Amino acid sequence: MDIYITEIKSGTRVALSMLPETVKLKTSGKFQSYDVMNIGEVKIPKGEKLAAISWSGTLPGASRRSMSYIKSQHWQSPNTLIGTLEGWKKNGSKLKVMVTGTVINHDVYINDFSPQPKGGNGDYEYAISFVQAKDIAIYTTSELGMQPASPSNSNVSTNTRPAAPKKTTYTVVRGDCLWNIAKRFLGAGNRYMEIYNANKSVIGRNPNLIYAGQVYTIPQ
């Protein structure tokens, strides 16, 4: 068995030279619950939750590189591996985790990575977890067979009000998604829910469905 972690955009790949004892894959369904008179609680399927992958292990130091239980062809210094993984986590890089000989072959983002030095051999103990990456599809109203809501008429007030603090706004263009907008303005794509929560009244109930021309307030 081998474990490979690949950055999809650049093709950069790392492989573990010392395998963990166990690798956990967690998947589950998602249900909407309703209480129906004379029947009781009813659960209706509502898609799947994102899969989670995790394990704990050791990044062996140079003094253990020649040990029989080390895959020497995959060995890299712990500092190099830690720098790579922490960079991918910080940048919200989309990765592929593959565990050969198993069903695990998923596109993911790093959810947590916690390395700690251990002993005098240059080893690091670590725990790492990933969350499944799913692309946010963008559709036009015509593609969905929907008509955009007509803006309601409102009377223009002539009252003079103090100028509000200047806010950063962004107008959506075709091909945009909340992930890319968050990466551009907030520095990390996985912060897209901050933009959604700040603009829920504009976007609506589905964060996967945004329209060109919508104007979003970018949270500070």
pLDDT tens for 156-170 read 555 556 655 667 899
Q: Residues 192-203: what's their mean pLDDT? A: 92
Does 96 share its domain with 199? no
**Range(s) of the domain holding residue 31:** 3-132
Q: Kindly state the average pLDDT of the residues 186-203.
A: 91
Domain CATH for 83: 2.40.30.200
Q: How confident is the prediction for the chain on average, in pLDDT?
A: 82
Residue at 154 is within a domain: no
- Does the structure show a pLDDT above 80 at 147? no
Q: What integer pLDDT is reported at residue 65 of this predicted model?
A: 83
> Is the domain of 16 the same as that of 90?
yes
Residue 100 shares a structural domain with residue 204? no
**From CA 43, how far away is CA 33, in angstroms rounded?**
4
Give the pTM.
0.54
Total domains present in the chain: 2
132 has pLDDT over 70: yes
The CA dihedral of 173, 177, 180, 182, to the nearest 10 degrees, is 100
Q: Helix, strand, or coil here: 52? A: strand
Tokens of 85: 């993984």
159 in any annotated domain = no
Question: Comparing C-alpha atoms, which of 52, 119, 122, 51 is closest to residue 82?
Answer: 122
Quick one: 111 and 186 in the same domain? Answer: no
- Which of 132, 153, 184 delimits the end of a domain? 132
